[in-house]
A and B are shown apart, each in its own frame.
Chain A
């Protein structure tokens, strides 16, 4: 077999750089998922659909002649209120129930969003052209679109801002207290209902930022949500809850893995390889944990 990757070393460099820039975006989405998982103990299957919705906001700004990069500011504001609305309508009824109930409920939301977007925006693959041009590296052998660099930079900026906000602000402290012990936080005067709503809103806003960036750098389509959910779930279980450097690292690792899978197996197996990797990681984790259990015995 003559894989292009092994014959031209520059493609390896290209794939690594592409993967890292893509992985930063995945890490941003995964950070939102880790936040709501840690605070509310909910796994949101609709995460990816929120991302795609954010992408469509940026795409529509592009259609109306506004530069899509402004979507990075507009999308999170709109998505924050979308998140609050979803919380008030559905999530607050399942938040203290069995985890499977919340998985199914968010699965329902995911199907709903997917179809509404399909009706509203059509089933075409679209992208918002930012017109940023490209950067050539290593004697023009490696091509990096500036939009990817821009998106990675903005993701890191948002992640850093959020971390500082969680550390310093009053709401951030309340969120962290609720994550540690919801009951104790309630006794000490934290309005946990408000904290949950804010957490879900912040998560949706993060998805909005990521979606706007994805619509600039890659393409969006109403049915592309589920892979983003699976990717962020995978990143969170590899890194663990509340381990921020881990989230960043495993996000980049996943990005690089995907780029190589794309080159080696072919583009038609890209999404399949992501889902298969999830299964393999979970199985590996299960055998590791069962060894630990035997050790404890």
Chain B
């Protein structure tokens, strides 16, 4: 049975709604699983541009003729691009994030190629203490990505600080 949770709007008036995303720190519970949508299809052009933006010189990502001679037969999508997109795709639930503290592990389980589509799921592993004098709290999540064939391509653990209820700046103004 589906049950709708967490309003995406604050109702400001009879017919006026303001978008409002993200869980407050207090809303996170160990064991919650979030399936993030939409997913994203990564292209080989994205891969090349990531290498340009980060000064990546590993030709496995952008020399297709070279890549053809490897066991993969085509360019591999760069790890930093995968991490960027996977973290970004979780924004709707983790909108109230203050910052990422660390990734305790990142495992690349299967190769990703241009044309593959990635979907992300996160699971809350740890929720830190709600300290009175702090505007945010620490959570740790497991992030898993699956491609269009439901194959798990990446798994990581990420710790981040999330603002507490009414502690997100602008929250007084219904931001």
- Are the chains A and B members of one assembly? no
